[in-house]
Amino acid sequence: MSGMIEKVAKAILKARFYDCEPEMYSNDLATFYAELDDEHFESAHSEARAAIEAMREPSDEFLHALAERMHDARFSRSGEDYPIARNFIRSFVDAALSEVDG
């Protein structure tokens, strides 16, 4: 794994195991990840890809909230609702999903 998919997969594993029962694992996250078997990583990798992919088509409500926070006229409505923000998010997701597994 590499890049964003790996980061999201590790976050899934940390939330699923480490945060729920930290006393069962090493205090060091690097050791925790090293102790997990490949099956855990493969499952988390698939879930990470699905989670990132789900962000590809954000809702208008999400885009509105994003535009409100950015206070930038380029993020205003024009044809498709929030075209620049929507395309930015699509590009972000596509870039994350196109990373080559390492």
Domain boundaries, the chain: 1-54, 57-102
61-90 per-position pLDDT tens digit: 888 877 777 666 565 556 667 777 788 888
Helix, coil or strand: residue 62: helix
Angstrom distance (rounded) from CA 2 to CA 29: 17
pLDDT of residue 46: 95
Q: What is the 3-state secondary structure (H, E, C) of 30-93?
A: HHHHHHCCHHHHHHHHHHHHHHHHHCCCCCHHHHHHHHHHHCCHHHCCECECCHHHHHHHHHHH
Whether this prediction's pTM lies above 0.75 is answered by: no
